[in-house]
């Protein structure tokens, strides 16, 4: 090839910009032109949601490199607002429209690199072009959204994939009311259900209204402006703005019109050097196909990392005629959702099984660093591997810290074809502030080896245990806090008593063994197998099984979003939960799904104003049997309400250990009213006990001051006593005056 080729690049973001700069570094004599149909090149598109939310306040920081820098530093001719219209392969020219000048012209090339990216999926439904309906792909999209936020109160985000979750989180951080709509039954569909479930709980905890299991059929509009989203089930979500996060489709029109090969998913077909069916034309980025590490086939992976790496190689090959082959794409991705992170590298269990791979998986819940060092946070890791060979197929993780480190290690093993035996032996960095002597990855590899070698076979957390003898090795209080999902026939035998109680078990039956998060179950499985039992360890134990067989509203403190998880192997380490509260915006959806909405205020307060559908049971009458009677045997959670939360929290304490799943509605009826929930009331109701306390306390303070001034200074003590009582009530959230007033005749 010529030592001074003319390289034309279509697309100036991740793949195109990487190709251009690498081409220049490898060939100073090349003539390089980069076209971008939008107004900006080389911008941080992954940072767009975070500018919308305010985490990245300076918009300029998203502009990684401007055309002037490309020219001065790399001698690259960057032309923004220039759109490639057609490729003439015979003449080796590209027809270009200059949108700024309103003209068209032909540009010759020796090598052409196509990096046009992808467009957001916008379904053809009524109202989708209404004002206020947006996608988020580039700087212009972001600016349009930002320009309208000041007049927006309610937002509907359609699609709970990576971009949808990021946008929903950031808009909620701005204080907007956000509803997230996802057609599939879980958020972040690429993940397995039990790994995605903590994200769902985290969304609910932070006040995102989540509607899953239904798509949308139209955008409701008024005078050309969006006012809501019409769902497949006929319901409507009110919204001043709608954000579509439904995925992307490749910009392949140039390639198709030029007769280049296109794969089944619309990606431009490429070889190992990212050359298309025309050897002088390359394709990289979201519009191109890559070799998929999971299957060995070629397909699309619309992620910035692989676009940058392959763009670099394509630029080198176009400039010199040679380069290393493009790497496989494993789809490694990670996301932050409020206080949690989650991610994946390689196959999920469901994707591996769908391809017919004999896949196995183990789950480990542990601290992200040594539990005895301050700040340890819980994480759950799922390792997927091939039966027989132990070849690592993929991993997923969810937790408050440390998941990116573990996913990156697994991505390295995927790249080099490692096995769980290799992972068990890898020498990872360890110091208490950073990790553990036995890292969660080591623990996962050990569990996988125990499964492969028959030392402690595993059952998947969602396994049907109806035909098994189930042994729960937890203490009784642990079982009460987190009842074992779908295994009421389980026998509770604490691990330390297992050997002396073997006679209670039947050796002829297959035996499933569980604890809270897995370590005790492994020990128990080994004891049972060495005493002749066909025993298997349920992967992830009761905690992960609860996630896998998730109830729509389960946010119990023993299975929280951030995890009150006893990290086996880290003595004494218990990670504090984010709480067992439910945000008011999710109350009606949970109640309609069968949850009991229980108001524990006095009957008079209840009559004076209550959330529609609530049932009254005063706090002093709250007992497990009374609540079970009201629930009618339903396994759905009990949503506890009072005026502002104090009595509901007390009711939750009275029900602790009963096996009932309770959730305190944050802020009580007051917050529900502010959130716009339907409120009903009867004639003859009285003001709330909370207001009665204020009136009584104020009257007593005033009386004490007046008597102390005009009768005897000792009466000031009454005011001081009431003041101390109010301080005590504020600190402890326990108010004796309120409890006394609740028993007053007018409150009954």
Rounded CA-CA distance 234/248 in Å is: 26
pLDDT of 501 higher than 50: yes
pLDDT of 555 higher than 50: no
Mean pLDDT, rounded, for 239-258 = 96
Q: CB of 610 within 8 A of CB of 680?
A: yes
pLDDT tens for 77-101 read 999 999 999 999 999 999 999 999 9
C-alpha distances in Å from residue 512, one per residue of 9, 456, 538:
59, 11, 6
- At residue 635 the predicted structure's pLDDT band, cuts being 50, 70 and 90, is low
Mean pLDDT, rounded, for 264-282 = 97
Mean pLDDT, rounded, for 247-268 = 96
Spatial CA neighbour of 379 closest among 358, 348, 396, 400: 400
Mean pLDDT, rounded, for 470-489 = 91
pLDDT of 161 higher than 50: yes
Positive or negative torsion for Cα 491, 494, 497, 499: positive
Spatial CA neighbour of 463 closest among 360, 357, 343, 348: 360
Say which DSSP state 278 is in.
S
Q: Walk me through the domains of the chain, giving residue ranges and CATH numbers.
A: 6-118+250-320 (3.50.50.60), 133-246 (3.50.50.60), 339-452 (3.50.50.60), 458-548 (3.40.250.10), 581-680 (3.40.250.10), 689-747 (no CATH)
Q: What is the pLDDT of residue 686?
A: 62
Spatial CA neighbour of 306 closest among 278, 281, 287, 279: 287
pLDDT tens for 186-200 read 999 999 999 999 999
Q: What is the pLDDT of residue 530?
A: 97
Q: CB of 638 within 8 A of CB of 664?
A: no
Mean pLDDT, rounded, for 370-378 = 93
Phi, psi of 106 (to 5 degrees): -105, 135
Q: How far apart are the first and last CA of the chain?
A: 93
Spatial CA neighbour of 308 closest among 529, 492, 572, 45: 45
Query: Is beta strand 610-611 parallel, antiparallel or unpaired with respect to 679-680?
Result: antiparallel
Q: What is the pLDDT of residue 683?
A: 59
pLDDT of 401 higher than 80: yes
Torsion of CA 291, 293, 297, 298, to 10 degrees: -30
Rounded CA-CA distance 182/171 in Å is: 17
Q: Return the structure tokens found at 526.
A: 């080994």
Positive or negative torsion for Cα 204, 207, 211, 212: negative
pLDDT of 416 higher than 60: yes
Positive or negative torsion for Cα 340, 345, 348, 349: negative
Q: What is the pLDDT of residue 722?
A: 83
pLDDT tens for 639-693 read 999 988 888 988 988 998 787 888 888 888 888 887 778 888 875 556 667 777 8
- Of residues 743 and 536, which shows the higher confidence score? 536
C-alpha distances in Å from residue 430, one per residue of 25, 304, 426, 436, 643:
39, 31, 12, 6, 49
C-alpha distances in Å from residue 425, one per residue of 225, 418, 438, 553:
60, 11, 11, 40
- Of residues 542 and 729, which shows the higher confidence score? 542
| Of 26-40, 218-232, 491-505, 698-712, minimum mean pLDDT range | 698-712
Rounded CA-CA distance 271/298 in Å is: 9
Q: What is the pLDDT of residue 1?
A: 66
Q: Return the structure tokens found at 664.
A: 């305190």
Spatial CA neighbour of 666 closest among 694, 643, 690, 693: 643
Q: What is the pLDDT of residue 685?
A: 57
- At residue 738 the predicted structure's pLDDT band, cuts being 50, 70 and 90, is confident
Say which DSSP state 344 is in.
E
Burial 184-199 (b: 16+ CB within 10 A, else e): bebbbbbbbbbbbbbb
Percent of the chain scoring above 70 in pLDDT: 93
Rounded CA-CA distance 210/172 in Å is: 13
Mean pLDDT, rounded, for 719-733 = 79
Beta strands in 183-279 (DSSP E): 209-212, 216-222, 225-231, 236-238, 241-244, 248-250
Q: Return the structure tokens found at 288.
A: 């191109």
Rounded CA-CA distance 240/149 in Å is: 9
The residues annotated as belonging to the active site are 46
Mean pLDDT, rounded, for 224-240 = 92
Q: What is the pLDDT of residue 577?
A: 30
Burial 608-643 (b: 16+ CB within 10 A, else e): bbbbebbebbbbeebeeeebbeebeeeebbbbbbbb
Helix spans in 416-533 (H): 420-425, 440-452, 476-481, 519-530
Q: What is the pLDDT of residue 578?
A: 32
Mean pLDDT, rounded, for 164-191 = 94
- At residue 746 the predicted structure's pLDDT band, cuts being 50, 70 and 90, is low
Query: What are residue 362's DSSP bridge partners?
Result: 383
- At residue 341 the predicted structure's pLDDT band, cuts being 50, 70 and 90, is very high
Spatial CA neighbour of 602 closest among 675, 678, 690: 690
| Of 387-391, 475-479, 530-534, minimum mean pLDDT range | 475-479
- Residue 483 neighbours by CB under 8 Å, 6+ apart: 659
Q: What is the pLDDT of residue 312?
A: 97
Query: What are residue 419's DSSP bridge partners?
Result: 391
pLDDT of 581 higher than 80: no
pLDDT of 462 higher than 70: yes
pLDDT of 564 higher than 50: no
Query: What are residue 536's DSSP bridge partners?
Result: 512
pTM exceeds 0.85 for this model: no
Mean pLDDT, rounded, for 342-370 = 96
Q: CB of 105 within 8 A of CB of 93?
A: no
Rounded CA-CA distance 723/721 in Å is: 5
**Axis-axis angle for helices 541-548, 193-205 (nearest 10):** 80
Q: What is the pLDDT of residue 397?
A: 98
pLDDT of 573 higher than 60: no
Q: What is the pLDDT of residue 673?
A: 83
Which helix or strand (DSSP H or E) is residue 97 part of? strand 93-98
Mean pLDDT, rounded, for 437-455 = 97
Q: What is the pLDDT of residue 688?
A: 66
Q: Return the structure tokens found at 554.
A: 């389960």
Mean pLDDT, rounded, for 48-54 = 96
- Residue 341 neighbours by CB under 8 Å, 6+ apart: 334, 335, 397, 398, 399, 400, 401, 403, 404
- Count of beta carbons in the 10 Å neighbourhood of residue 655: 21
Spatial CA neighbour of 208 closest among 45, 346, 339: 339
Q: CB of 424 within 8 A of CB of 446?
A: yes
Positive or negative torsion for Cα 44, 215, 151, 166: negative
Mean pLDDT, rounded, for 503-518 = 96
- Residue 528 neighbours by CB under 8 Å, 6+ apart: 471, 498, 502, 505, 511, 513, 535
Q: What is the pLDDT of residue 496?
A: 96
Q: Return the structure tokens found at 704.
A: 């004490």
Q: Is 175 exposed, middle or buried (0-12, 13-18, 19+ CB in 10 A)?
A: exposed
pLDDT of 566 higher than 80: no
Q: Mean pLDDT score of the chain, rounded to an integer?
A: 90
Cα angle 599, 602, 605; round to 5: 85
């Amino acid at each position: 090839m010529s030592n001074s080729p003319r390289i034309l690049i279509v697309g100036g973001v991740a793949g195109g910009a990487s190709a251009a700069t690498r081409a220049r570094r490898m060939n100073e004599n090349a003539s390089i032109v980069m076209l971008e149909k939008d107004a900006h090149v080389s911008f941080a598109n992954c940072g767009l949601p975070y500018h919308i939310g305010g985490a990245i306040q300076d918009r300029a920081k998203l502009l990684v490199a401007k055309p002037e820098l490309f020219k001065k530093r790399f001698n690259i001719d960057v032309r923004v607002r220039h759109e490639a219209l057609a490729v003439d392969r015979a003449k080796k020219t590209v027809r270009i429209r200059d949108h700024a000048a309103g003209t068209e012209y032909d540009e010759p090339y020796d090598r052409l690199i196509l990096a046009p990216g992808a467009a957001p999926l916008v379904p053809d439904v009524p109202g989708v072009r209404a004002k206020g309906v947006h996608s988020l792909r580039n700087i212009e999209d972001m600016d349009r959204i930002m320009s309208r936020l000041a007049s927006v109160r309610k937002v509907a985000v359609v699609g709970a994939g990576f971009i949808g979750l990021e946008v929903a989180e950031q808009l909620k951080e701005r204080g907007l009311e956000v509803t997230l709509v996802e057609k599939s039954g879980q958020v972040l569909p690429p993940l397995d259900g039990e790994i995605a479930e903590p994200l769902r709980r985290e969304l609910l905890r932070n006040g995102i209204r989540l509607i899953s299991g239904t798509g949308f059929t139209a955008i409701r509009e008024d005078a050309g402006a969006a006012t809501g989203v019409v769902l497949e089930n006929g319901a409507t979500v009110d919204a001043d703005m709608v954000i579509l996060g439904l995925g992307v489709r490749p910009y392949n029109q140039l390639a198709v019109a030029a007769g280049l090969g296109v794969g089944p998913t619309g990606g431009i077909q490429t070889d190992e050097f990212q050359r298309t069916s025309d050897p002088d034309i390359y394709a990289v980025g979201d519009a191109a196909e890559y070799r998929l590490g999971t299957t060995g086939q070629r397909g699309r992976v619309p992620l910035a990392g692989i676009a940058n790496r392959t763009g670099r190689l394509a630029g080198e090959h176009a400039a010199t005629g040679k380069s290393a082959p493009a790497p496989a794409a494993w789809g490694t991705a990670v996301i932050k959702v409020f206080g949690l992170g989650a991610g994946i590298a390689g196959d999920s269990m469901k994707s591996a099984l769908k391809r017919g791979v004999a896949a196995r998986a183990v789950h480990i819940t542990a601290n992200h660093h040594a539990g005895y060092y301050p700040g340890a946070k819980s994480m759950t890791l799922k390792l997927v591997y091939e039966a027989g060979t132990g070849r690592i197929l993929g991993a997923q993780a969810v937790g408050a810290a440390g998941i990116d480190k573990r996913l990156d290690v697994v991505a390295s093993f995927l790249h080099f074809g490692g096995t769980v035996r290799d992972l068990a032996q890898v020498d990872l960095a360890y110091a208490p502030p950073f990790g553990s002597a036995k890292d969660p990855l080591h623990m996962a590899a050990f569990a996988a080896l125990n499964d492969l070698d028959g030392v402690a076979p595993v059952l998947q957390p969602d396994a049907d245990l109806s035909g098994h003898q189930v042994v729960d090795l937890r203490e009784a209080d642990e079982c009460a806090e987190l009842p074992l999902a779908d295994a009421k026939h389980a026998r509770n035998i604490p691990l330390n008593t297992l050997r002396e109680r073997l006679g209670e078990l039947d050796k002829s039956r297959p035996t499933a063994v569980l604890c809270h998060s897995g370590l005790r179950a492994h020990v128990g499985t080994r004891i049972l197998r060495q005493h002749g039992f066909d025993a298997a360890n349920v992967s992830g134990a009761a905690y992960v099984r609860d996630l896998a067989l998730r109830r729509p509203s389960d946010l119990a403190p023993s299975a929280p979003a951030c995890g009150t998880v006893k990290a086996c192997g880290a003595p004494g380490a218990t990670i504090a939960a984010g709480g067992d509260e439910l945000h008011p915006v999710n109350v009606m959806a949970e109640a309609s799904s069968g949850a009991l909405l229980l108001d524990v205020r006095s009957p008079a307060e209840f009559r004076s104003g209550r959330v529609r559908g609530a049932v009254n049971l005063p706090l002093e009458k709250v007992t497990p049997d009374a609540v079970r009677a009201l629930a009618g045997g339903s396994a759905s959670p009990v949503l506890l309400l009072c005026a502002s939360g104090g009595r509901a929290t007390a009711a939750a304490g009275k029900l602790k250990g009963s096996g009932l799943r309770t959730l305190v509605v944050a802020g009580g009826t007051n917050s529900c009213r502010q959130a716009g929930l339907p409120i009903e009331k009867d004639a003859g109701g009285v003001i709330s006990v909370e207001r009665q306390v204020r009136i009584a306390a104020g009257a007593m303070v005033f009386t004490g001051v007046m008597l102390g001034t005009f009768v005897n200074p000792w009466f000031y003590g009454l005011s001081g006593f009431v003041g101390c009582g109010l301080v005590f009530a504020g600190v402890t959230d326990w108010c004796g005056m309120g409890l006394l007033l609740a028993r007053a005749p007018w409150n009954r």
